[in-house]
Structure 1
């Protein structure tokens, strides 16, 4: 069952949605950095799929957290934190802010087109007035899975560049598996380094009358100041240099370098100006400026004059057959395939149409890949939509095999569930085993920077975690709840998988309720790793497997296993 997208939200509504988050400085910084990384990658994916409203919310929230929140975290001054923050701030100034300004134009255009269509439909007939609403919002269909929040979901907003149909994930599992495998193959070929999209349209000049543009530009300026502060702070601490005054001078603009492809141009040899006498150039010839060579024409390109020189030219690399005496229009006669690899590649012609310009933004997929969007699989208790999560059905068995040596000794093992975003759904495509310290009743990850760098290099986001209970039943302990609170603060869809191979049920997929579970756990100040909570367990967390949850365990999804422990062994 499918339906058209909902009415586009305004830029002001999307900006307010981006600022609707709860900042918790007591959460370890590694979770906030992971959340920023996930926002960045998801924002790029939604932009590539032309889902500009959702991309705008994610990238705007990224800018707010990166500029206003992260620097105030208690752990922000540690060396490891600076290393990760530096990456985030550079992304902000180089990619995020230019994309925000470009996306704003597309959002305004979508809003205008929708209002024109609504006005035209309202003026035609009463029946058409029901089909296309005249107001800014369209009420969702009355279905049990959609309790009235879909119209406020940015991911379901209509825009003229991707008029996607909304699909139920439960009715299109095979399509979802195909999308997951296609996206994984495409990302593996492309690499994470290639995911720096170019704005589809040039950034407009500043307009003092536009409040949204003022906000974006002020954010860009704060980001540049923040980036320079991050760069200067380690030098001040090393050399002990501080400003004598309490005020700062305006920083120099951040230099931006553009690396264009080098074009190797051949230099014709002027035999008349050279003398090969004892391998040295004649001084009189050296004193004279070398006249520029005559530009060959398409009609008269004859090498006889050059070949008739008295001096012997330098050896020329073998190129197959000799060039013809005339520069024919048939370029195949030039044997371009036999030229050295340093031969310059002709530049790509500029796009002729808007669609071609969109396709040139790397690595944007074809329009057909963005012709549908999965509707939210469920909603949190506070009404926030949560996307579908597709979990490979064989991943749990593979994890238990890896954990078996520890399980036999009664030691817990944990792993991180990583994956990608496609068409408003999440696909787990990697089981990451990080560096860790396990005991009989706990498991703590270490070397978070190494985990962050791996996910960054492989273009992965952290969707949840999995761990064993070798000697206990399948449930979430108080330590598990506090651990998962960090993951769910990163992403509402985050899941925790508990495996208890000696008991029944032997496994479960869980998430914290929100509210009351997540805010209660984040605000819990009780001491000790294991303690009692005032709320009952079923009030704090619940099953996330579909039905009725948002996690679909399906066959056919390709995934890989990366064990970072082997690097240190």
Structure 2
């Protein structure tokens, strides 16, 4: 197995990452509870990147989180409503910890950037031909430079040609995390005590707080906290951090990604956008070590006409470099970063999603009895983030009610309790079309939009066992698919979308890669 180094871009400094983090759309028509769930996702991913010493990406996610909580949500038109006040206050209490963590990351990011700058100066003084290091095209340099998860990383691997290594890394890391989690559960600290300790008793109860709506002293306290947080965000770069270095807290369980509002219309969080940062120089820097989803019913399937695949810009499978043997048994996950394997139509990177090749067949076995009776079946694709790639490790079958054209989950709290206990991320969903062809219906598109808003890499797998093709892996295009579905507020079961290219294939050459040998478990939460 050979590793390949991406030498195309320099590391980013704090100012550049901050500008990128703050560049996202905030839509005040979206309910506050959905923005809080988006914050959950940001904090969960930041925690993993921070544990893997990917300081740049952890900083970006934490800064975006702080901007959302400190600046955007207080300006929401419904922020002062009783049902929202306590939830916002619970989120606000996490800001001091997040700001402390940002300050701990800043010197490491700046030290790496300054080291790169000094090395470039030495190289210029020695009249070294920088062009010799330009191993990639200009477009590849620009793409890497705008992605803090990859920029400046000396060891970035292509997903497809290194899938065997990816599987080894995933098995080792998942086993390590499982061992740690079970040690906590079996040790002197109970699981609830660990959750309380890691969240400082402040963030995990925001959903319950939303329902309580406690208003006592809320306005004064919220105003003081917001002003203090804003001063810290807007203040000098060198203000003193909190005592000691701390790891990020484990975020609370996620909640339903979307739902209808009181008028029967669908509401989703807005899409994040970014502006490219351009660099003129290149350098191979050295890595320095650092001390319930209740889905709405789906209608009978609408026919989809028109092309379904748009080829996004992508990096080559391998970049010329000095090859070396790499082994997952010798090096931890933090020694590797999987570079994006595809890009959205707007140019934003998509992390690789590693999919077990046998998962679809196992799901069809679970769904067999329903399929025989012309009933749909759905399952949730769950997994984790490792080395800037997403690994599906669990197929979870939630409680559900089915018809020939619909499948609704019920008792979603059991599903989210399971995900929280296992520290799982929801990476997409899978469902059957017992008698129809393999395509995404209008209801499927609305369903999937809720997943892809939270995580752009989320996928939808459709299984049509009686037809050809028998299955497909899809995502919404962005643009125009995401915008078309986000702006669609039709409530009827049969409503076409005007855009012809609303969704596209996600399996390679998209961002989804089947990884032979990748282990997964099937967890059936349906009552026996």
User: If the length of structure 2 is used for normalisation, what is the TM-score?
Assistant: 0.69
What residue is the counterpart of 1:273 in the other structure? none
Matches within 5 A, 1:362-381: 368-381=332-345
1:155 aligns with 2:140: no
What residue is the counterpart of 1:560 in the other structure? 521
Residues 477 and 530, structure 1, Cα contact 8 Å, conserved in 2: no
Per-residue Cα deviation, 1:168-196 (whole angstroms, up to 9, x for no partner): 1111110011111111111111119969x
What residue is the counterpart of 2:442 in the other structure? 478
Write the distance in 2 (CA, Å) between the matches of 1:232 and 1:535: 37
Write the distance in 1 (CA, Å) between the matches of 2:424 and 2:206: 28
Query: Among residues 539, 542, 552, which one is paired with 2:504 in the alignment?
Result: 542
Query: Among residues 410, 414, 417, which one is paired with 2:374 in the alignment?
Result: 410
1:169 aligns with 2:164: no
Query: Which piece of structure 1 moves more, 148-157 or 465-474?
Result: 148-157
Q: Using a 3 Å threshold, how does the CA distance of structure 1 residues 477 and 380 change in structure 2: closer, same or farther?
A: same
Write the distance in 2 (CA, Å) between the matches of 1:446 and 1:84: 25
Q: Using a 3 Å threshold, how does the CA distance of structure 1 residues 187 and 76 change in structure 2: closer, same or farther?
A: farther
What residue is the counterpart of 1:270 in the other structure? none
Matches within 5 A, 1:207-222: none
Residues 37 and 461, structure 1, Cα contact 8 Å, conserved in 2: no
Write the distance in 1 (CA, Å) between the matches of 2:499 and 2:210: 47
- Give the SS at the match of 1:154: coil
Query: Among residues 191, 202, 212, which one is paired with 1:234 in the alignment?
Result: 212
Query: Among residues 419, 423, 426, which one is paired with 2:390 in the alignment?
Result: 426
1:389 aligns with 2:356: no
Write the distance in 2 (CA, Å) between the matches of 1:84 and 1:454: 23
Which 5+ residue runs of structure 2 have no aligned equivalent?
A: 186-201, 229-241, 245-287, 292-328
Query: Among residues 61, 64, 68, which one is paired with 2:64 in the alignment?
Result: 61
Query: Among residues 436, 442, 445, which one is paired with 2:409 in the alignment?
Result: 445
- Give the SS at the match of 2:367: helix
Per-residue Cα deviation, 1:4-33 (whole angstroms, up to 9, x for no partner): 362111212212222233345666777655
Query: Among residues 11, 18, 23, which one is paired with 1:20 in the alignment?
Result: 23
Q: Using a 3 Å threshold, how does the CA distance of structure 1 residues 248 and 88 change in structure 2: closer, same or farther?
A: closer
Residues 85 and 214, structure 2, Cα contact 8 Å, conserved in 1: no
Per-residue Cα deviation, 1:467-515 (whole angstroms, up to 9, x for no partner): 1111211000011111111111111111100011111111100011100
Write the distance in 1 (CA, Å) between the matches of 2:371 and 2:182: 35
Q: Using a 3 Å threshold, how does the CA distance of structure 1 residues 563 and 512 change in structure 2: closer, same or farther?
A: same
1:125 aligns with 2:147: no
- Give the SS at the match of 1:119: helix
- Give the SS at the match of 1:421: strand
Query: Among residues 442, 460, 482, which one is paired with 1:496 in the alignment?
Result: 460
Residues 27 and 486, structure 1, Cα contact 8 Å, conserved in 2: no
Query: Among residues 132, 136, 142, which one is paired with 2:137 in the alignment?
Result: 142
Matches within 5 A, 1:524-535: 524-535=488-499
- Give the SS at the match of 1:99: helix
Residues 470 and 501, structure 1, Cα contact 8 Å, conserved in 2: yes
Residues 173 and 554, structure 1, Cα contact 8 Å, conserved in 2: yes
* Larger relative contact order (Cα-Cα within 8 Å, sequence gap ≥ 6): 2
TM-aligned CA deviation for residue 40 of structure 1: 2.1
Residues 30 and 448, structure 1, Cα contact 8 Å, conserved in 2: no
What root-mean-square deviation, in Å, do the aligned CA atoms of Structure 1 and Structure 2 show?
4.0
Which 5+ residue runs of structure 1 have no aligned equivalent?
A: 133-138, 196-223, 259-354, 359-364
Write the distance in 1 (CA, Å) between the matches of 2:243 and 2:15: 33
- Give the SS at the match of 1:484: helix
Q: Using a 3 Å threshold, how does the CA distance of structure 1 residues 84 and 39 change in structure 2: closer, same or farther?
A: same
TM-aligned CA deviation for residue 405 of structure 1: 2.4
What residue is the counterpart of 1:296 in the other structure? none
- Give the SS at the match of 2:106: helix
- Give the SS at the match of 1:2: coil
Write the distance in 2 (CA, Å) between the matches of 1:471 and 1:86: 49
What residue is the counterpart of 2:427 in the other structure? 463
Per-residue Cα deviation, 1:214-240 (whole angstroms, up to 9, x for no partner): xxxxxxxxxx99999996993747xxx
Residues 5 and 154, structure 2, Cα contact 8 Å, conserved in 1: no
- Give the SS at the match of 1:462: strand
- Give the SS at the match of 2:168: helix
Query: Among residues 173, 179, 183, which one is paired with 1:189 in the alignment?
Result: 179
Query: Among residues 37, 40, 43, which one is paired with 2:40 in the alignment?
Result: 37
Residues 87 and 206, structure 2, Cα contact 8 Å, conserved in 1: no
Larger radius of gyration: 1
Per-residue Cα deviation, 1:311-368 (whole angstroms, up to 9, x for no partner): xxxxxxxxxxxxxxxxxxxxxxxxxxxxxxxxxxxxxxxxxxxx9983xxxxxx9974
- Give the SS at the match of 1:440: coil
Residues 5 and 165, structure 1, Cα contact 8 Å, conserved in 2: no
Write the distance in 1 (CA, Å) between the matches of 2:364 and 2:160: 27
Residues 21 and 64, structure 2, Cα contact 8 Å, conserved in 1: yes
Residues 14 and 109, structure 2, Cα contact 8 Å, conserved in 1: yes
